[in-house]
Each structure stands twice: as C-alpha cells, then as structure tokens.
A and B are shown apart, each in its own frame.
Chain A
Amino acid sequence: MNHLSSETFKENAKAALADVQLRGALKNATSLFGERRKAAAASLPNWEDLRTHARAVKDEVLLHLDRYLEEFVRNAESRGATVHWARDAAEANSIICGLATERAARIVVKSKSMTTEETHLNDALEAAGMQVVETDLGEYIIQLAHEPPSHIIAPAIHKTRQQIGELFTAELGMPPTDNVDQMTSTARMKLRDRFAAADVGISGVNFAIAETGTIVIVENEGNIRLTTSLPRLHIAMMGIEKVIPRFADLDVFLKLLPRSGTGQRLTTYQSFITGTKRASTDEGPDELHIVLLDNGRSRMLAHPVTRQSLACIRCGACLNACPVYQQVGGHAYGSVYPGPIGAVITPQLMGIEKAAQLPYASSLCGACREVCPVKIDIPQLLLHLRGEISPRKGSRAERLAFKMWARVMTSPSLYRLSSVAGRILQRVMPISRAWTNGRDLRPIESKSFHDLWANE
C-alpha cells in the first residue's frame, strides 16, 4: 500500500479520513509534538529574536549561495573530504552507487536522510545488488513495512504500537508484544549485526559550515554515530541549501531545531565531522564523500517568495501544527515532504503539474507560519503557487461566477435582491456540492442585518 501519488491528493485524503487507526495515531502524535514544541519555545525568553536571526542567516546564505558553497567545498576538501555535485536525483544516485560498487560494497547502512528519500537512493542501491538497511528506528519500521515516511522527523508516526508489534513478529520473529521497550531492543539487536558487517554508511546532513567545511548531523538514537564511524566509507548527501556561513551560527540553529522538532533543548547526539581522520589508527572511516544535490533547488532562488522554501531546516513543526496534516497524515501528500512545507516544495521540486492539488491542501490558517523556526511565510508561498496554477486551470464558469459576484457585491440594489433570492433559492436547490460535501453551509438568516438595523 501507500505509494500514493501527489496527483491524487483529494482521493488520498478521502481514504485517509476513513482510516480510524490512522487518525487516532495522528491526533496523539501531532498534539503531543505541538505541546512539547510550545513548552520548549516558551522556555527561551528570546525565541522571536532567535527566529529572526536564523532567517537572516539563511537569507544571507541564499543570496550568495554560489560563494558559500565554494567556500564549503574548499574547506571540506582541504581537510580530506571528496565533494561531488549532482544536478538531479539520477546523477546523485549514480555517483553513490558508483562509489559503493568500486569498493565492492555489499552491505549499506543508512541513517535518516530526507534527501536520499527524495532521490529514491535505496531502490538504486538495491538495483546495483546491495543490501540497504535503514537504521533509524522509525525508518527501519517503514522499510520493513515497505512504506514511505509519513513525517519528516518521525517517519512511522502513522503506525500504532500494535501494528508495529505485529510487523516485528512477522518480519523479525519477535514474540508477540506491544511493549515498546521490547520492540526497541529487538531492533537494536538486529541492527547491530548489520552495523558490524556494513561496508558503507550513508547519512544526511543538517548543517554544512562554509567556514570550516564541517558537516553537522543531529540525532537521538546513536545510529548516525554508528553509520558515520564503523564502515570504512562514509557518504553524506545534502541539498545545496544546507550550507550556513559560520561555525558560530550553529548556536542559533542548534537552539531552534531540536526545540521545534521534538521539544528538546538539545538532541542526544550532535556529530561535527570535518574531513577525514588524522591517523590511520584512529576511529572513523577512511574516506568521506559529500554529495551536493540540486534537483530543482537552484530554480527556487529566482523569486524572493519561492526562495524562502530553501530556508527550511526540516524540523517538522509545520506538519504538527497543520489542521490538514493532522487529519490526513503524510502519505496522502504522495511526496517524501508532506504537510505545509511539503505542499510548497513538492510542486517546485517535482514540477507543478505533478502536484497541482497540493497548494490547495490548506485552509491558509497560518499555523505553519506561526511555528516555523525560520519564519517561512508558507501561506504566502501557497498563494504564490496557486497563482501559477490558476491561470492554467481556472474554468470559464469559475471566472464568470467571480465576475458576477463582484457585480453584486459592488451594487447595493443587486446585493439586496440577491439576498432575497438566496433565501428562496436555498430551500429549493442545494448550493455547491463540491463545497458542502466536506463542510456545513449555514443557511441565510431570515432577516438580514440591514432589516434589523432599519427596524430597531
């Protein structure tokens, strides 16, 4: 199941709304995440200043992205890393498959990376004959279930513990249980065996520091540390927008990201990796390769509104805050990036014609903008994208209806006439089915405000 397309959001959403278990899991998770984020943000007196500052840093980077990328590459390479540039998903996958194949790799361990989800790297590695093991617990669960992630930071958020217990029993031979500690230790045992045997470790990147050539990766479980320490080859894939100018900028981002994502002051582990180890007897991989992925990102620089999309630090807060995501979950979006941020970056990455329904998957309530740690104006972006879609898609009938509405609203006599007509017509004909299918339309009151005002 569940490899849904973003072209069919409306149907996907309808199916999700009928799934009682899914809605229970979503309600539980999104409200808990939301409460924790709120408490964590409130614990810092200067939260708003931090957001403003972080956004200013991101804007600075994006306006000079070429320069900062070149600085990052120079510093990473001078300390022993090898950097690769990939224009699109196919190029990124072929670089990584090539590196693994040249070293006769058979077993690949991966830590969570949205960018490799975006390029469908696992399929490419498997096609090249490799065994690929996701090691983040949530990613491991969905890999066993053959499903895509449904949340940016909690990929298996749509599943109940009972469902995961049954999955582990079927796939891993775990004795039946819904005890979370037991499931966790089963995964630990199974994955340790793979870590010990792995030839390649593949990770994502949270921040890449131009000034030092450092990549920073944050986590709670410890699987990123294992992935980037045990195998002799470490490959890190990052979108080109992940670069930040200075090491000191981490202060603000490491305050915002964990608080917005999970409500923690700091996640359990941060790994700062700068090139390769200095002595061959030291711990760590012999080789570090960093893949810089464009895949549609540089296009977003062309307009100040779309450019904001590249400021995203992938915390997932907008998903939890969104009344649409809260009801339909991540799979309905048919994209590795769901929720409000997914609704704006998916059409830009995949092409607007492939995801034309997503910018409409929002009530424009603005909750996403309120929680965004880098102040991305997602409603503005949604409207901008709708503007790109509607000239192509708006029907003649729709245009005519709005024209008539404008006439009526600008003429007092036509307005009075229409409200009288509306009161009569609402008894005999349903208004718009497409509108009332999912909502209640309040009937027009028998007396208008004008009537009441005139009579009192």
Chain B
Amino acid sequence: MSNSARESILGSIRTHLAASPAVDDQPVTSANPVIPSESDPVNRFKESVEAVSGHCIVATDAADVLKQILTDLNAQRVAYSDNPPNAHDIFHFDVGVSTAQAAIAETGTLVLDSDCERHRLVSLVPPVHIAIVNASSIVETLGDALTLLQKKEISPAITFITGPSRTADIELTLAIGVHGPQELYVIVDGSK
C-alpha cells in the first residue's frame, strides 16, 4: 500500500496547488489579545467550574475535604488514579479520585497530563469524579495552558475536563452524565 498512495496524494496536492493562481502568502500574526481580568484566578476558576454544573471547594486541607466528600457521598468503592484498578474493573466503582496538573480559570477546565496522571479513566468512568488541583497551578487562559503544555516534550495523552459529562442529542435537552460522571467536585488546594 501506501507508499504509492502517499506519493499519489502528495503529487495530487502539488499539481493542484501549482495549477491555482498565485496568492500572497502572508505570515499569520496573532489576533488573540489577552484580556486582563480583575478577579484573582482561583475565584475566577471556581466561578467557571460552577457555571458548568461542577462543585468547587477552595481549601487549605485538601485531604480533609476529600474525606468529607467521600463520607457525604457514602462512597463504598473509590478508585484512585495513582493506584488504579484494571481498566475493566473500573466500571464497578462509585467514585474516582485524581489530581490535575493544571487548571484554566477562564473556562473552569482541569488539565490531566498522562506523564503524571497515568490512569485517567478514574476521572471518566465512575459516576462521581473528584479532582484535586494546586491553587498555584491555575492559569488564566486557554492560551496560557497551551503554552504551559509546550514547555516540555508533549505527553502521549492530555485530557481537558470542563464540568461533568453532558449531552444534548435528544431535542437539545441537556442531560448530565451520559458516558462520564454525573458529578464533578474540584478541590483547590490553597495550602501552598
């Protein structure tokens, strides 16, 4: 296969481009000014998480808050991303707990990087996901997060999470928790 398919497609691209009238090939400049925000990133992040139906708790003792949430939920089986069950058992857990390596204030987004978070299905499969993120890891904008990810060799799997799983495929009516969690708790660890 495919050497010939490759050559034939690239050849077709070159031939058709050559047949087209020349145009000025101008370098692309950024048109994406950063809009400064007044509130601090932690508050802005919390508001954004809540705007997409997530819960957000800012705490100085994250472990304590986690324990309290698990007690309130009466969680029996809890899967942790640093000590995960095998991929097929994960379907039988009540709660998944992970950390996030970064978060985006303007959108309420968690960033999970496979270099640190090697088992991200705990954030997807159980009906409840609890994520812990350091307050100092919260960046202002989507652009800031993309820049951050490029500071090192990019990891094989990076996942952005903004709120619980949702669908509107039936009459555009919002239904929460279609394939992923119905509930998302984010604990912002402000201790450092």
- Report A-chain residues with C-beta under 8 Å of the C-beta of B178: 137, 184, 187-188, 220-223
Contact between B156 and A273, CB atoms less than 8 A apart: yes
Task: Let me know if B175 is at the binding interface, CB within 8 A.
Answer: yes
Contact between A191 and B1, CB atoms less than 8 A apart: no
- Report B-chain residues with C-beta under 8 Å of the C-beta of A138: 167, 169
With contacts A137-B170, A266-B142 taken as known, whether A191 is within 8 angstroms of B179 at the C-beta atoms is yes
Contact between A95 and B118, CB atoms less than 8 A apart: no
Q: How far is the CB of A85 from chain B (nearest CB, A)?
A: 4
Contact between B169 and A268, CB atoms less than 8 A apart: no
Interface residues of A in 184-214 (CB under 8 A from B): 184-185, 187-188, 191-192, 196, 212, 214
A-B contact pairs, 22 of them (CB 8 A): A33-B172, A46-B32, A52-B31, A53-B31, A63-B25, A65-B17, A91-B5, A154-B169, A156-B170, A180-B171, A196-B88, A221-B165, A221-B179, A229-B87, A229-B120, A251-B142, A254-B142, A266-B109, A269-B162, A270-B159, A284-B114, A298-B16
Q: How far is the CB of A234 from chain B (nearest CB, A)?
A: 11
- Report B-chain residues with C-beta under 8 Å of the C-beta of A157: 172
Interface residues of B in 152-173 (CB under 8 A from A): 154-173
Binds B, one of A302-310, A407-415, A447-455: A302-310
Contact between A86 and B5, CB atoms less than 8 A apart: yes
Contact between A160 and B171, CB atoms less than 8 A apart: yes
- Report A-chain residues with C-beta under 8 Å of the C-beta of B180: 221-222, 225, 268-269
Task: Let me know if B26 is at the binding interface, CB within 8 A.
Answer: yes
Chain B residues packing against A (C-beta within 8 Å):
1-2, 5-6, 8-10, 12-14, 16-17, 19-21, 23, 25-33, 35, 52, 84, 87-88, 91, 106-107, 109, 114, 118-121, 124-125, 142-143, 146-147, 149-150, 154-173, 175, 177-180
Choose among B14, B16, B35 the residue with the greatest number of A CB atoms under 10 Å from its CB: B16
With contacts A161-B173, A188-B178, A262-B168 taken as known, whether A302 is within 8 angstroms of B19 at the C-beta atoms is yes
- Report A-chain residues with C-beta under 8 Å of the C-beta of B88: 196
Chain A residues packing against B (C-beta within 8 Å):
25, 28-29, 32-33, 45-46, 49-50, 52-53, 56-57, 60, 63, 65-66, 69-70, 79-80, 84-87, 91, 95, 135-138, 141, 154-157, 159-161, 164, 180-181, 183-185, 187-188, 191-192, 196, 212, 214, 220-223, 225-226, 229-230, 240, 247-248, 250-252, 254-255, 262, 265-279, 281-284, 292, 294, 298-304, 307
CA of A91 to CA of B21 in the docked complex: distance in angstroms? Answer: 31
Contact between A214 and B154, CB atoms less than 8 A apart: yes
Contact between B12 and A60, CB atoms less than 8 A apart: no
Given contacts A220-B167, A273-B156, A301-B16, 10 further A-B contacts (CB under 8 A): A53-B30, A137-B169, A154-B168, A161-B171, A184-B175, A223-B179, A269-B180, A272-B160, A284-B114, A292-B9
**Identity of the chain B residue whose Cβ is nearest the Cβ of A223 in the assembled complex:** B179
Contact between B146 and A283, CB atoms less than 8 A apart: no
Contact between A154 and B154, CB atoms less than 8 A apart: no
CA of A270 to CA of B110 in the docked complex: distance in angstroms? Answer: 10
Contact between B32 and A220, CB atoms less than 8 A apart: no
- Report B-chain residues with C-beta under 8 Å of the C-beta of A160: 171
Contact between B5 and A267, CB atoms less than 8 A apart: no
Contact between A278 and B171, CB atoms less than 8 A apart: no
- Report B-chain residues with C-beta under 8 Å of the C-beta of A300: 16
**Identity of the chain B residue whose Cβ is nearest the Cβ of A160 in the assembled complex:** B171
- Report A-chain residues with C-beta under 8 Å of the C-beta of B52: 268
Q: How far is the CB of B170 from chain A (nearest CB, A)?
A: 5
**Identity of the chain B residue whose Cβ is nearest the Cβ of A231 in the assembled complex:** B87
- Report A-chain residues with C-beta under 8 Å of the C-beta of B164: 268
Q: How far is the CB of B94 from chain A (nearest CB, A)?
A: 15
Contact between A161 and B170, CB atoms less than 8 A apart: yes
CA of A296 to CA of B59 in the docked complex: distance in angstroms? Answer: 56
Q: How far is the CB of A228 from chain B (nearest CB, A)?
A: 8
Contact between B28 and A269, CB atoms less than 8 A apart: no
